[in-house]
């Protein structure tokens, strides 16, 4: 009896949680397609494609900003994986002294807001001509993303024993061959997750882009922020949906292709909420 | 010996990124906070900016607001998360994984916009209240945005952070706590006894670790309060940004001093968290 009641309570609980989680999306979707929605009305009285056509406007700002966000996000993801992978190998694959201290240093940019370091480095970026450029924005996005890729890949490498590489080496493979043909294929799913994380973190950055991009590098969150500070819920909601899309897609892909359990149990996307 | 060099080489790229862009940025912030700004002809080192910031009334107001917002968000998120985890632990893992991962992956800005459209005076909540005859005019609905109590900000943080803390608690519950609880049940412990004496001690380190992260994050986060907060007092990161944006470059050291204080505070929480996490790993 106890188990049955518990399951039922669980399902009711899940229903309530689902409702609360989806609640903020309800006005977003209604507003994005609303033509007229005056105060006491519970639903829009007229529908309109205005929000959608704002997004798709040829040569419009949304398209340009989306391209900027994608370009920066993809290059940040690739660079973070390239930088984070060797660190992950060192931290996950080997035992050595001072490891705890190094982990602390690597985690610090996740826990200490990168706002402080970015304001500090702004002057240097101006001097080097990196301020107001995509390259500059790309560089500061690495501050929150590299720690994540390094930590994710650490846990991936920690689960491996390295025996296969040893076998490959005894069979005459060079260190690079062993890495390329043995290590890499095996850690590929973990690398994909790490890259996805890095992309989503970069995609969500607002203040770092604003500080270093100085308004010259316009990404989607810039448009969303100025729309949200204004008075047009239709445009704001349409932008918010586009801005949320990669996160939803990533979640769907991850849940579909990753082995069950990767996303449960307090791992998975857990840390992401802290920086996006 | 070769091993040590190999590890050092492997760590170099990540350490360079963090060392130059993060640590270098922080050092630069400290230097500027001490008033060293050759660009505007200031080369004298002093603690004036800290004195100015710490004795100003603005800072105290902002500090108190920041602690209040971070504290309230953390406490509310943690309590709701523990309740949710206790209720949900027997539900399907797959579905709850999707439901919980959604707020975690959604950017804060989207969450803030969505919550604002629910709780504003012409939002979904107000319309529902009007439909139920509770209010007639939008202004009769309580102001939950740009308000004294930062309700909109806290609600956004709670929406974002509850799933994070819940997943941490669920992980602990599905591990050892579940087995121990079954033992306690067979020994005749009541539901409350099982929770207080068996389950809670097992899950509490995880809860504390997760709430330390939430507190550190909400203490230093910028976007949500910048969008949904009122213009005075602002939370500390917004105050730092406003000082930074000041055309008068002499305000720069004050902005940097606030930054350094934020970084120090969050670093303390980070250290506490890592210490706890390491003990958890050992235990």
Across the interface, of A120, A265, A267, the residue whose CB is closest to B25 is A120
Same domain, A81 and A7: no
The answer as to whether B5 is a domain residue is no
Judging contacts by C-beta atoms under 8 Å, the chain B residues touching residue A131 are none
The answer as to whether B70 is a domain residue is yes
Judging contacts by C-beta atoms under 8 Å, the chain A residues touching residue B9 are 86
| CA–CA min distance A10, chain B (Å) | 5
The answer as to whether A221 is a domain residue is yes
The answer to whether B234 and B225 are in contact (CB under 8 A) is yes
- In this prediction, residue B87 carries a pLDDT of 83
The answer as to whether B160 is a domain residue is yes
Q: Do A120 and B99 touch (CB under 8 A)?
A: no
The answer as to whether B127 is a domain residue is yes
| pLDDT higher than threshold 80 for residue B228 | yes
Distance of alpha carbon A120 from alpha carbon B257, whole angstroms = 10
The answer as to whether A55 is a domain residue is no
Same domain, A36 and A16: yes
- In this prediction, residue B283 carries a pLDDT of 42
User: What is the SS3 string spanning B169-231?
Assistant: HHHHHHHHHHHHHHHHHHCCCCHHHHHHHHHHHHHHHHHHHHHHHHHHHHHHCCHHHHHHCCC
Distance of alpha carbon A114 from alpha carbon A140, whole angstroms = 9
3-state secondary structure (DSSP) of residue B246: coil
Q: Is B40 on the interface with A (CB under 8 A)?
A: no
Q: Do A21 and B103 touch (CB under 8 A)?
A: yes
The answer as to whether A97 is a domain residue is yes
Question: What pTM does this model have?
Answer: 0.90
The answer as to whether B90 is a domain residue is yes
Q: Do A119 and B240 touch (CB under 8 A)?
A: yes
* Helix spans in chain A (H): 2-22, 25-32, 50-56, 61-93, 99-111, 114-128, 134-158, 163-170, 175-178, 184-204, 207-213, 220-229, 233-257
Which residues, in sequence order, are CB contacts of B228 under 8 Å at separation 6+? B112, B115, B116, B145, B146, B150, B152, B153, B156
Closest alpha carbon to A116 in B18, B246, B56, B258: B258
Same domain, A42 and A154: no
Q: Locate the chain A residue with the closest alpha carbon to B119.
A: A24
Rounded mean pLDDT of chain B?
A: 89
Burial class (CB in 10 A: 0-12, 13-18, 19+), A213: buried
The answer as to whether A135 is a domain residue is yes
**A36 DSSP β-pair partners:** A46
Helix (H) or strand (E) holding B23: none
Q: Is B263 on the interface with A (CB under 8 A)?
A: yes
- How large a percentage of chain B has pLDDT more than 70? 96
Give the rounded distance of the alpha carbon of B234 from its chain centre. 16
Which residues, in sequence order, are CB contacts of A154 under 8 Å at separation 6+? A87, A88, A91, A92, A103
Same domain, A154 and A29: no
Range of the domain at B120: 57-282
Same domain, A73 and A137: yes
The answer as to whether B149 is a domain residue is yes
Judging contacts by C-beta atoms under 8 Å, the chain A residues touching residue B255 are 119
Same domain, A9 and A72: no
Taking the CB of residue B19, how many other CB atoms lie within 10 A of it? 13
- In this prediction, residue B33 carries a pLDDT of 94
Confidence of residue B154 (pLDDT cuts 50, 70, 90): very high
The answer to whether B162 and B218 are in contact (CB under 8 A) is no
Tell me which residues of chain B, numbers 191 to 210, contact chain A at a CB-CB cutoff of 8 Å.
206
- In this prediction, residue A193 carries a pLDDT of 87
Which residues, in sequence order, are CB contacts of A113 under 8 Å at separation 6+? B217, B220, B221, B222, B237, B262, B263, B266
In this prediction, residues B251-273 reach a mean pLDDT of: 91
Q: HSE of B197 in the Cβ direction (CA atoms, 13 Å)? A: 12
Complex ipTM value = 0.89
The answer as to whether B181 is a domain residue is yes
Distance of alpha carbon A197 from alpha carbon A77, whole angstroms = 8
**B42 DSSP β-pair partners:** B37
B137: left (phi over 0), alpha (psi -120 to 50) or beta: beta
Number of domains in chain B: 1
The answer to whether A202 and A72 are in contact (CB under 8 A) is yes
Same domain, A31 and A124: no
Which residues, in sequence order, are CB contacts of A17 under 8 Å at separation 6+? B84, B88, B96, B99, B100
Q: Which two tokens stand for residue B165?
A: 């803390």
Number of domains in chain A: 2
Backbone phi, then psi, for A187, in 5-degree steps? -95, 0
Same domain, A193 and A229: yes
Distance of alpha carbon B90 from alpha carbon A3, whole angstroms = 9
Q: Among all chains, which residue has been given the structure tokens 């945005």? A: B145
Same domain, A29 and A82: no
CA torsion angle for A163, A169, A171, A177 (degrees, to 10)? 110
Range of the domain at A15: 1-48
Residue of A69, A111, A139, A237 for testing the chain B interface, max B β-carbons within 10 Å: A111
3-state secondary structure (DSSP) of residue B42: strand
**A34 DSSP β-pair partners:** A47
The answer as to whether A53 is a domain residue is no
Confidence of residue B1 (pLDDT cuts 50, 70, 90): very low
Same domain, A231 and A178: yes
3-state secondary structure (DSSP) of residue A46: strand
Across the interface, of A10, A228, A270, the residue whose CB is closest to B87 is A10
Judging contacts by C-beta atoms under 8 Å, the chain A residues touching residue B267 are 108, 111-112
Residue of B77, B101, B171 for testing the chain A interface, max A β-carbons within 10 Å: B101
Judging contacts by C-beta atoms under 8 Å, the chain A residues touching residue B111 are 24
| pLDDT higher than threshold 90 for residue B143 | no
Residue B192 sits in a domain whose CATH number is 1.10.3720.10
Q: How many CB pairs under 8 A join A and B?
A: 308
| CA–CA min distance A92, chain B (Å) | 11
* B177 against A41, higher pLDDT: A41
The answer as to whether B38 is a domain residue is no
Distance of alpha carbon A246 from alpha carbon A29, whole angstroms = 16
Same domain, A4 and A34: yes
Residue A85 sits in a domain whose CATH number is 1.10.3720.10
Same domain, A38 and A72: no
- In this prediction, residue B251 carries a pLDDT of 86
* A122 against B1, higher pLDDT: A122
Q: Summarize pLDDT for B95-129 with one digit per residue, the tens.
A: 777 788 889 889 999 999 999 999 999 899 999 99
Residue of A117, A198, A234, A237 for testing the chain B interface, max B β-carbons within 10 Å: A117
Q: Do A116 and B116 touch (CB under 8 A)?
A: no
The answer to whether B206 and B280 are in contact (CB under 8 A) is yes
Q: Do B101 and A268 touch (CB under 8 A)?
A: yes
3-state secondary structure (DSSP) of residue A35: strand
Q: Which stretches of chain A score pLDDT less than 50?
A: 1-2, 261-276
């Amino acid at each position: 009896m106890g188990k049955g009641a518990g399951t039922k309570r669980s399902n009711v609980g899940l229903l309530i949680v689902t409702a609360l989680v989806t609640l903020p999306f309800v006005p977003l979707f209604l507003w994005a397609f609303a033509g007229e929605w005056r105060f006491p009305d519970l639903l829009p009285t007229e529908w309109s494609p205005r929000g959608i056509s704002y997004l798709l406007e040829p040569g419009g700002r949304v398209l340009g900003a989306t391209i900027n966000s994608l370009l920066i996000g993809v290059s940040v993801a690739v660079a973070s994986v390239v930088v984070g992978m060797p660190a992950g190998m060192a931290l996950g694959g080997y035992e050595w002294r001072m490891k705890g201290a190094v982990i602390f240093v690597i985690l610090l940019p996740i826990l200490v807001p990168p706002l402080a370091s970015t304001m500090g480095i702004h002057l240097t970026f101006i001097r080097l001509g990196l301020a107001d450029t995509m390259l500059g924005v790309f560089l500061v996005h690495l501050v929150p993303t590299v720690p994540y890729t390094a930590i994710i890949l650490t846990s991936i490498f920690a689960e491996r024993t390295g025996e296969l590489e040893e076998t490959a080496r005894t069979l005459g493979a060079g260190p690079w061959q062993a890495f390329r043909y043995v290590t890499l294929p095996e850690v590929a799913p973990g690398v994909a997750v790490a890259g996805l994380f890095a992309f989503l973190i970069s995609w969500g950055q607002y203040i770092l882009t604003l500080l270093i991009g100085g308004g010259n590098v316009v990404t989607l969150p810039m448009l969303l922020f100025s729309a949200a500070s204004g008075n047009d819920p239709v445009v704001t909601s349409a932008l918010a949906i586009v801005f949320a899309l990669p996160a939803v897609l990533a979640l769907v892909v991850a849940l579909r292709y990753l082995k069950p359990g990767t996303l449960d149990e307090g791992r998975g996307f857990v840390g992401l909420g802290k920086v996006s | 010996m070769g091993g040590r060099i190999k590890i050092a080489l492997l760590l170099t790229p990540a350490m360079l990124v963090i060392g130059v862009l993060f640590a270098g940025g922080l050092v630069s912030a400290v230097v500027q906070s001490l008033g060293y700004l050759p660009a505007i002809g200031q080369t004298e080192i002093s603690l004036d900016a800290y004195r100015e910031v710490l004795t100003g009334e603005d800072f105290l107001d902002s500090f108190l607001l920041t602690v209040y917002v971070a504290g309230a968000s953390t406490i509310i998120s943690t309590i709701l998360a523990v309740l949710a985890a206790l209720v949900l632990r027997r539900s399907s893992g797959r579905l709850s994984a999707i439901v919980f991962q959604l707020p975690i992956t959604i950017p804060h800005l989207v969450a803030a916009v969505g919550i604002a459209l629910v709780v504003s005076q012409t939002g979904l909540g107000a319309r529902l209240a009007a439909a139920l005859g509770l209010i007639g005019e939008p202004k009769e609905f309580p102001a939950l945005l740009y308000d004294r109590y930062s309700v909109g900000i806290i609600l956004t943080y709670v929406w974002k952070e509850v799933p994070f803390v819940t997943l941490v608690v669920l992980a602990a519950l599905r591990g050892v706590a579940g087995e121990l609880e079954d033992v306690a049940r067979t020994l005749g412990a009541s539901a409350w006894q099982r929770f207080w004496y068996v389950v809670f001690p097992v899950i509490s380190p995880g809860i504390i670790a997760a709430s330390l992260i939430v507190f550190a994050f909400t203490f230093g986060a910028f976007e949500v309060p910048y969008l949904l907060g009122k213009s005075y007092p602002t939370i500390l990161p917004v105050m730092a940004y406003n000082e930074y944006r000041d055309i008068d470059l002499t305000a720069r050291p004050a902005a940097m001093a606030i930054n350094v204080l934020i970084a120090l505070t969050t670093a303390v929480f980070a250290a506490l968290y890592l210490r706890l996490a390491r003990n958890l790993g050992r235990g």
